Structure 1
Amino acid sequence: MIWTYAALALLAPSAHALLRFSCSQLVIERLDPLVNPGALQSPHLHQIIGGNAFNATMDPSVAPSDLATCTTCTFSEDFSNYWTAVLFFRARNGTFKRVPVKGNSGFESSQGGMTVYYTPTLRGTAKVTAFKKGFRMIVGNPTYRTEAEAKRFRQLTYTCLENILTRTGETLDFPKKPCKAGIMVNVRFPTCWDGVNLDSPDHMSHVAYPASGTFESNGPCPSTHPVKIPQLFYEVIFDTSKFNDQSLWPADGSQPFVWSFGDATGYGNHGDYVFGWKGDALQKAMDSNCNINCPQLKTQSIAAGNKCAQKQKVKEDIDSWLPELPGGMPVQ
């Protein structure tokens, strides 16, 4: 699908080049092959997008593109998996209702999912090294409940959408007021790699933020992580509009939304990634400095991406009014 830069300039990060594309929802279930490999149900619920090779166990020596038969992403050579937690509304009576996800601007026909960005270069001319087969990482920590903890990670934020084009006023915690067009969750990953390890025990130590400045200001990588990698960035829009009647909110006026891992603050925002692009497609796109559209890559329609889906490995009710969060996660 072709997008004009003029139509999307306000939506994209400030950059000389980037990929911006839609990935529809693949499945919503309690699976996490990074933190809980092999477990048929992980402690909390995730929404997953990308290739249909997603499973409880994902062998890093096997390329997802060798196993997947379809992807929910509009760049059809991308069989990666991307996932975040799921947002719930907590009613005054203590029951929970899953908040649906809606398509971003330009991707309104997407069935949930998220918008994914890969940004190769900014104000400098240095090239980036695309992720390799077997690469995976996590950013954020679901146990964090304070602003000081959340600040250990850069740019994990929320945007209270006045309309679908709102891109200002990011906060580290959940918005305190009703958001007319929903809450957008922003997940930006570190942009420096140690150049050796495709993963690490905590799924974080092999990557790092710039030693000073930010990726956007072309900050240098630390000596321990000298290899520049693309900035991977998720935008997920939770359609909170049906819960905007403040008579439904807590009597004390506090905000009513809770992450599926029991966080009512928002400071536990986090995201997971398993690389799965076919061959050297991503490196080719990064080297070409594609700007939203990328003729070097194969594409499919959003409608085709919507057809790629998985059933829950373990069937679980996630859409009724629930007496507790899936997995019995406590709110704390």
Structure 2
Amino acid sequence: MVYDIIIENGILVDPLKKTHQKGTIYIKNDKILSPPNEKEKVEYKQKINADGYYVMPGLVENHTHIYNGGGDTNLNADVIMLPSGVTSAIDQGSSGWSNFNLFYKSVVMNSMMNIKCYLNVSNSGLITEDYYENIDPKYFNKEMIKFYTEKYKDTILGLKIRLCRDSIKDMGLSPLEKTLELAEELNLPISVHIKDLDEIKDVANMLRKDDIWVHMYQLSEPTILDSNGNVIEEVLKAKERGVLFDVASGRGSFSFEMISKAFKQGLKPDFLGTDLVTYNVYERPIFSLPYTMSIYLNLGMSIDELTQICIKNPAERMHLSGEIDTLKENTTADICIMEIKEKDITFHDKHGGSLDGDKLIVPRMTIIDGKVVYRSIEF
């Protein structure tokens, strides 16, 4: 057998099988193959010595905006994410039904990555950062939302809405109520941006199993903490009944003080979305998904926990579990190789908080469909 790529001696982390062990990966065409038997002659086109490095399925970005050309915040997914070891991504509502066809044709169909999305309930989605999209329920086009979510059911994962004082204005929670009504009828989850919302307890009570709470550690009051620094009861109950929580860090949507208090009370994220856009990519405090993972590694989460929330959990949302969240044989060879570098580093938030750490996750190689699409010059 002539293999295209052999990755030997790496620390193989498989979040689906929950294994963490030294081993070798064999790749032919676009698939991971079983190891050769002892009598088989092994040949290869490229051999990679990954001794001391972590080899895992490609990272899955749960929260980003990648309708490139469709709005001032949207990234080019392949250019930005492949060098960071990200091989799959979920766009969080950049498109509404009225411009979804162009998003699908120009981004989803043309990307090397696996791309799926949430459809914004606002007709045109997120066009600009200069003003909020219109979420007045009287403009929701139920017929067209139903049409697109059914036609593109393999791509559209659910509905997205942004809730904050400036977006709901004097409408109260009627936009959320209507979104939930639509979601119930379409049998879809919703993803909800929640910031500085006076009705935060009511929202917590309204969200259902598999709905996503976005920006869980944001610091604009009201927050998930009460005046005594305790996680509010409604949030804990939401977590218990299966509401999913996404960090979606953004430029200022997290604080180390908030994270510390929530961690001590057991409220940890289900997803480590970055909310990367044109205004924060390669800029601190977020920079990239591996940099964000480094923050939580230094907060005490293990690499195995991080692969659960950065690979396995979002892969399940994408309905690709067993395909993109594992290194098992006969799956597509979407792989990233990372180094956990011992390095003194200080992380900062946008609220004056900081975290001193000694580890940094550094991307060294990205393989997609069995082809090397990024390799660090030092690796």
TM-score when scaled to structure 2?
Answer: 0.23
Q: Which has the higher strand share?
A: 2
Q: Which has the higher helix share?
A: 2
The structure number with the bigger radius of gyration is: 2
TM-score when scaled to structure 1?
Answer: 0.26
Point out which structure has higher relative CO (alpha carbons under 8 A, 6+ apart). 1
